[in-house]
Chain A
């Protein structure tokens, strides 16, 4: 019985992990806005990364939403170089139980380096 429970837990855990994955899009042109302090040690080392981890609530009548990229200190050009979207089991579940009104948004993005 114990063995079966363990297998069930393992399958459940595997399903949860498999439902959590990232997708990254990157432009072939342009360079990323640099981070001179090089604070990261991942794929984005040397890049100025903006991370969003929030829940967006939209109207019941809205089908989807558009998140606008604006010029800021971390996004001087206001143009996108790369975007990474992370899908989580919790996020999918949240959207499901709220009939799509609440959307988990876990995104990293890097803006284009300004040109002169």
Chain B
């Protein structure tokens, strides 16, 4: 049987030390050994029973419950003040076969895989690679769990692909401790699995686009995500170029994404007529404190997989002295004016090496990111057409009201179908500033104040925006949700949640984060009718 270890704790923190946050109980569940229970479906369902037991135990104690994996989110979205569940040891995978497919599916069975919630992206990639497959995209690194990625909208910079949730085609949720509380959800318009298979892992099968799209970026509040079915694709290579190009040209490309007609070309990446190829990935690095006329840009082009490509890994990877980062933080707090100078000194560490080319598979290019100390990241999504305008505003904010110990980058992501995806624009430019955490002093504003100013500046300049769910912001900003999303989308998400979860579970699977942004209020429970059709 799957077993759970219970830890009585007083606090919990994220990987990047964005807390600590108060906590009463931490559950850690481990699966039954495969020697004792060789069948993967049996072990998967055995874990379902264990999670249902924990949900019942928590409900009986009238407490909240929230699952988390790698704790990579930089705010309290993964936090629950009562009981939290670490699911990182729950990492079964099951490749799908033709017999598992829905009669009306358009998916190729060889591309579909069921992954249990706690499987980290690196492991997902390793499993897929062993089948000659690849994820379509990942974040900039690989340590997040698959459930954590989709719950918060983790993305890379794949212009024509989307974010991690955009290749999820089925979700297995545990929404209570009773019979019928294990559901499998997929889109009605894009069914993937047949009832025979879905019944093996669930009590109920729901094929509904609206519900699926709402649950997809569910912010950890649609129940316990036990597993997801993803669509992979045949393995491919990415050729990565890092170039220094004129600022105006880099920003023109950001605003237009017109790589075909741009003056910027990589000779190896043009067609027979000399027209530029469309990259898979485009990223711009911006040191807002530098007056250099050029920006560093990173482009990746998709290539067919061949076995004999050059190993992209270095033999030695050096890490910056932690004490140096600590010194950077302390100097930023006491002498903020030194930040631009400090950023310049660290540019070799924080920017990729210019003119270095390499080729590798997706998981090789977006590899491990070792912990480097307390970090912050503020990330806003804007329509890519507003990329340069938004960057100009936020870079000026950082220079005029800061400086802030971090630098900007732009990444670009195709629109998501998920109801509350922050990648909601036709192509969203994710404008992010990453850096080291600092404490407010009389010389430098706090991170929350800085985050608040970001929202105010975008609002004042009428730039529609979203915020990355897993990063830092002033989440208590008045009417923030309505500023970011259309009323209809907010209502759809909330209605679907109410339809799926009974009132006890709505409360149990909420937390301070979703209450703060107004997606749930414990005092105004509107009980959905579980028998009502979800339309």
Binding site for B on A (CB under 8 A): 28-31, 34, 36-38, 41-46, 113-116
- What separation, in Å, do the CA atoms of A116 and B31 have in the docked complex? 9
Binding site for A on B (CB under 8 A): 7, 9, 13, 15, 17, 26, 28, 31, 34, 40, 43, 70-71, 86, 88-89, 91-93, 116, 120, 122-123, 126, 143, 313, 319, 322, 367, 370-371, 373
Give min CB distance, B209 to chain A, whole Å. Answer: 31
Taking CB as reference atom, which chain A residue is nearest B311? Answer: A28
A34 to chain B: which residues have CB within 8 Å?
70, 86, 88-89
User: CB within 8 A of A43: which of B28, B71, B88, B371?
Assistant: B371
A37 to chain B: which residues have CB within 8 Å?
7, 9, 26
Decide: A31 and B122 in contact? CB cutoff 8 A.
yes
User: CB within 8 A of A31: which of B9, B93, B120?
Assistant: B120
Decide: B123 and A115 in contact? CB cutoff 8 A.
yes
Decide: A45 and B15 in contact? CB cutoff 8 A.
yes
Give min CB distance, B291 to chain A, whole Å. Answer: 35
- With A36-B26, A116-B31 as contacts: A29 and B88 at CB distance below 8 Å: no
Most interface-central of B31, B71, B92, B319 (chain A CB within 10 A) = B71
- What separation, in Å, do the CA atoms of A45 and B71 have in the docked complex? 11
**Interface of B: prevailing SS:** loop
Decide: B122 and A43 in contact? CB cutoff 8 A.
no
A36 to chain B: which residues have CB within 8 Å?
26, 28, 86, 88
Decide: A116 and B43 in contact? CB cutoff 8 A.
yes
Taking CB as reference atom, which chain B residue is nearest A38? Answer: B13
Give min CB distance, A39 to chain B, whole Å. Answer: 10
B123 to chain A: which residues have CB within 8 Å?
30-31, 113, 115
Taking CB as reference atom, which chain A residue is nearest B367? Answer: A28
21 A/B residue pairs, CB under 8 Å, sorted by A = A30-B122, A30-B126, A31-B123, A36-B26, A36-B88, A37-B7, A37-B26, A38-B71, A41-B17, A44-B371, A45-B15, A45-B371, A46-B70, A113-B89, A113-B91, A115-B91, A116-B31, A116-B40, A116-B43, A116-B91, A116-B116
Taking CB as reference atom, which chain B residue is nearest A45? Answer: B371
- What separation, in Å, do the CA atoms of A27 and B26 have in the docked complex? 30
B322 to chain A: which residues have CB within 8 Å?
42-43
B70 to chain A: which residues have CB within 8 Å?
34, 46
B26 to chain A: which residues have CB within 8 Å?
36-37
Taking CB as reference atom, which chain A residue is nearest B43? Answer: A116
Decide: A28 and B91 in contact? CB cutoff 8 A.
no
Give min CB distance, A26 to chain B, whole Å. Answer: 8
- What separation, in Å, do the CA atoms of A116 and B322 have in the docked complex? 35
Taking CB as reference atom, which chain A residue is nearest B27? Answer: A36
- What separation, in Å, do the CA atoms of A30 and B26 have in the docked complex? 25
- With A43-B319, A46-B371 as contacts: A116 and B86 at CB distance below 8 Å: no
